[in-house]
């Protein structure tokens, strides 16, 4: 189900100009958006019913071209905006715990990076 959360979050990024890829950051392409699972919290179990909700934590990492902070920032803001308004179907609810993308600085190649944390609440009842 966690892979489904990655897929649903990636599909919610409908207005990106950078390619969107599922899985951890890779060396190529320079400008890209990566969506990957970073673990999660213990499941919530309703004591009355036994229904279980899993909470997946995902990162949306926006990486831009070398030395192009402005485009990277715009792409990250667009990703955050896409996710903020997302209402996936089925048994998944998305939550953005912070109000904007977090700048991570430049990597060893000089590419700007920004991250968005997303919590996915997955109803498994």
Write out the residue range of the structural domain in which residue 51 sits. Answer: 2-123
Read off the pLDDT of each residue in 18-46 and give the average, rounded to a whole number.
Answer: 90
Q: Which of 123, 122, 83, 120 is nearest to 99 (CA)?
A: 83
DSSP one-letter code for 30:
S
Q: pLDDT tens, 56-80? A: 889 999 999 988 999 999 999 999 9
Residue 2 confidence (pLDDT): 56
What predicted TM-score, i.e. pTM, was given to this entire model?
0.85
Mean pLDDT computed over 32-40: 90
For the chain, the average pLDDT equals 87
Percent of the residues in the chain that have a pLDDT greater than 70, as a whole number: 91
Domain count, the chain: 1
Alpha-carbon distance 78 to 26, whole Å? Answer: 21
Q: What is the CATH number of the domain that holds 38?
A: 3.30.2000.10
81-to-24, 67, 107 alpha-carbon distances in Å = 22, 24, 24
Per DSSP, 47 falls in state: T
| Nearest in space to 20 (alpha carbons), one of 11, 44, 115 | 11
- Assign 3-state DSSP to the chain and report helix, strand, coil percentages, each to 5: 20, 45, 35
């Amino acid at each position: 189900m966690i892979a489904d959360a990655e897929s649903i979050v990636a599909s919610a990024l409908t207005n990106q100009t950078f390619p969107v890829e599922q899985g951890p950051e890779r060396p190529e392409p320079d400008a890209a958006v990566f969506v990957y699972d970073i673990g999660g919290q213990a499941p919530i179990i309703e004591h009355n019913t036994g229904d279980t909700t899993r909470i997946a934590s995902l990162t949306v990492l926006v990486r831009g071209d070398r030395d192009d902070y402005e485009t990277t920032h715009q792409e990250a803001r667009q990703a955050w905006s896409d996710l903020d308004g997302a209402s996936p179907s089925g048994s998944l609810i998305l939550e953005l715990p912070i109000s904007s993308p977090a700048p991570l600085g430049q990597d060893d190649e000089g590419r700007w990076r920004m991250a968005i944390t997303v919590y996915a609440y997955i109803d498994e009842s």
